[in-house]
Amino acid sequence: MKTYNEEKLRERAGELLPEVVELRRKFHRNPELGMEEYETAREVARYLRDAGLEVQTGVGGTGVVGVLRGSESGRTIALRADMDALSIEEDTGAEYASEIPGKMHACGHDAHTANLMGTARLLSEVTEGGKLLRGNVKFLFQPAEEGPGGAEPMIEDGALESPDVDAVLGLHVNSERETGTILLKEGVLTAATDSAVIDVIGSGGHGAHPQSAVDSVVVAAHVVTALQTVVSREIAPTDSAVVTVGKITGGFRNNVIAPSVQMEATIRSLDPELRTSLRDAVERVVAGVTQSMRADYALEYNFGYPSIHNDEGMTDLVGEVAGQLLGEDAVVYASQPSMGGEDFSYFASEVPGCFFRLGVRDEEKELGVYPAHNPKFDLDESAMEYGMVVMAAAALIYLGKTEDE
């Protein structure tokens, strides 16, 4: 059931694409880390005001909320994008490469932001500033998805209120999918992303006299090995979990036994009960190994983003819209969730939501051939046209239906 002019929507999205590409490149040249997105937020706010939207800034830190109010009362749908970059030195060689040393949009958030800005203008124009719109569309430009997390602070700051949001959509670029396609999955989509900081505490000494010390480096090595048995020997093969020690620091020089070593780990899971038991298992292993080797430990365990759970109805809506606009073959349904994490989960925990992947890979252009978080990551910018039309059409169809449809 269509409640929009498909031809008009497609045509205007195509016309807006060059403008949206320039926005994306401006953000790419000037990346900002989480809760530092001041210039990005200013650009977003200015653009939304020019598009005729109500704008609120400083939401949950550096977040921006835009509202397109319809002339008729109805439901409210929110569309979300994240704005932050990563602490990565860019190595793409692109003419629009980052101009800020050590910072890069290596996960596509620049494209998410530009895409949603274009979607806001597109919806404002095709609804004549909301005159042809029943209900409202809220545009959530979120800081700090890569950490420390911006969705929860935005919610606490009222981003889903006044008007109250009834549903939410979000997208993420995907370099494993070709441009012109999207990836969908109902139910659990991503993993919970927890973390641990583990201090292994021994006693220092001379490297030539290990009997007079407790070597924290050796103890830490045993802890890393033992932690791998949590997943391989304590969790059913049919369940999914990850325990990865990604950072180890300690020691002074080759002939000094280090008094302590610090390790940082990511712990990921899909099941809430398993998530709790993993925390207990990690501490039990660390305590057991350190005690058996005459050392001590300190553990800081942090529960991070929960899993995204895609609502059945909202997932069906996006699939229907994308099938109409891109073709049925362009809509791919994932059979398994990803062990990656996303704090869109906080929005989807508050209201029914759908988070989908937008294909940005074009091997002929040599774009989208490197994965996210790679220094060479780039994407096919033409994919943003598809992102705009799918988001805009899904919002229009959602608002055009009655609550019981």
Distance CA 379, CA 264 (A): 31
Residue 61 near residue 76, CB atoms below 8 Å:
no
Strands (E), 61-189: 63-69, 72-82, 134-142, 167-178, 182-184, 187-188
Please tell me which residue in 36, 37, 82, 145 is annotated as part of the active site: 145
Q: Which helix (H) or strand (E) holds 127?
A: none
Judge if the upstream peptide bond of residue 31 is cis by omega within 30 degrees of 0: no
Which residues on neighbouring strands pair with residue 183, listed in sequence order? 332, 357
Helices (H), 95-199: 109-126, 151-156
Whether 39 is catalytic: no
Which residues on neighbouring strands pair with residue 245, listed in sequence order? 265
| Residues contacting residue 284 through CB under 8 Å, at least 6 positions apart | none
Distance CA 147, CA 353 (A): 21
For residue 113, how many C-alpha atoms fall within 13 Å in the half-sphere facing its CB?
Answer: 35
Whether 145 is catalytic: yes
CA-CA distances (angstroms) from residue 191 to 46, 124, 143, 274? 35, 35, 20, 11
Burial of residue 91, with CB atoms counted within 10 A of its CB: 0-12 exposed, 13-18 middle, 19 or more buried: middle
| Residues contacting residue 329 through CB under 8 Å, at least 6 positions apart | none
Q: What is the DSSP letter of 86?
A: B
Q: How many residues belong to the chain?
A: 405
Please tell me which residue in 32, 36, 84, 381 is annotated as part of the active site: 84
The distance from CA 259 to its chain's CA centroid, rounded to whole angstroms, is 38
Q: What is the DSSP string of 304-338?
A: EEPPPEE-HHHHHHHHHHHHHHH-GGGEEE-SS--
Judge if the upstream peptide bond of residue 306 is cis by omega within 30 degrees of 0: no
Which amino acids are annotated catalytic?
Answer: 84, 145
